[in-house]
Amino acid sequence: MARGPGTRESVTIMAVNIPENIARVQERIAAACARSNRRREEVRLVAVSKTHPAESVRAAFAAGLRDFGENRVQEAQSKRPPLADLEITWHMLGHLQSNKARLARELFQWVHSVDSLYLANKLAQAAASDAARLPVLIEVNLGGEASKAGVRAGEVPGLAEQIAQVEPLDLRGLMVIPPFIENPEAVRPYFRQLRALAAEIEARKLPNVSMRELSMGMSHDFEVAIEEGATLVRVGTAIFGSRE
Ligand SMILES: *Cc1c(COP(=O)(O)O)cnc(C)c1O
């Protein structure tokens, strides 16, 4: 095959085709669901748009996505005005400082990163009395990494019991960002552990607690996560390209 001029070729290779990337991710999600005898509707694709401009979100929306995730309140805020015409469900994925709870409550319809009762209460207080309920997940630090947010596995049942009583929050499940390991197979035990922890809490039949949602799996390991029960996969790079 004849090669074109070097520079032009590399530009073509680097260009990110968001609709095509989404189509490929959707195929991989469908295949992972088929392998694990799950229905496609059980898995929600959350497109992680952090560091990418509002136009990229618009392109992904046009390609059919409705759930988007960000990890910084400020950045999320700056992207809202140009996207105000789109019906998007926004997911907060990053560590949330309690002094940003009020703003986060305005900007997001889901919070995946609740890691204390204090934060849960702040999110609850930030809501107007007639506000919609807020689905939340507890972020679990399964790797015990000091650099990562989230609560240790042993503390999750107690925290779940407390958050269950905070109105108008709806505790729906757990979220994990496992230690980064290149080989997705090596991440599988963490996903299993998250599912087991959710099942253990569900079995206690705490009032107002449903642990159905498992937010796990990113660009390099979402297929393994789906095989292990993920209901929310958070995919950035595989849709929008790299973030450097
Ligand atoms: C950035 C981010 C993702 C997406 O990661 P990719 O590897 O780009 O798919 C998922 N979850 C959280 C919490 C993130 O901060």
CA of 235 to the centre of ligand 1 (A): 6
Nearest to 45 by CA among 183, 35, 174, 32: 32
Atom 12, ligand 1: residue with shortest CA distance: 93
CA of 212 to the centre of ligand 1 (A): 21
**Whole-number pLDDT of residue 15:** 82
Residue located via tokens 């560590």: 95
- Omega before 168 cis (within 30°)? yes
Q: How many helices (H) and strands (E) does the chain have?
A: 10, 8
Residue located via tokens 């759930």: 67
By three-state DSSP, how is residue 54 classified? Answer: helix
Kindly list the protein residues whose Cβ atom lies closer than 6 A to any atom of ligand 1. Answer: 48, 50, 71, 93-94, 177, 218-219, 234-238
Report pTM. Answer: 0.93
Quickly list DSSP for 129-191. TTPPPEEEEEEE-TT--TTS-SB-GGGHHHHHHHHTTSTTEEEEEEEE-PPP-SSHHHHHHHH
The span from the CA of 77 to the CA of 104, in Å, is 9
Token couple for 230 = 């993920």
Atom 13, ligand 1: residue with shortest CA distance: 93
CA of 8 to the centre of ligand 1 (A): 30
Per-residue pLDDT of the chain (244 residues; tens, 9 = 90+): 444 444 444 444 568 999 999 999 999 999 999 999 999 999 999 999 999 999 999 999 999 999 999 999 999 999 999 999 999 999 999 999 999 999 999 999 999 999 999 999 999 998 766 678 899 999 999 988 888 899 999 999 999 999 999 989 999 999 999 999 999 999 999 999 999 999 999 999 887 789 999 999 999 999 999 999 999 999 999 999 999 7
CA of 2 to the centre of ligand 1 (A): 38
Token couple for 43 = 């898995």
Pairing of strands 169-176, 89-92: unpaired
- Of 93, 215, 218, 244, the residue with max ligand 1 atoms within 8 A of its CB, to mutate for a pocket test, comes to 218
CA of 115 to the centre of ligand 1 (A): 18
The span from the CA of 116 to the CA of 184, in Å, is 29
* CA angle (45 as vertex; 19, 214 as ends), nearest 5: 165
Crossing angle of helices 117-125 and 156-163, rounded to 10°: 20
- Of 71, 91, 108, 113, the residue with max ligand 1 atoms within 8 A of its CB, to mutate for a pocket test, comes to 71
The span from the CA of 235 to the CA of 49, in Å, is 9
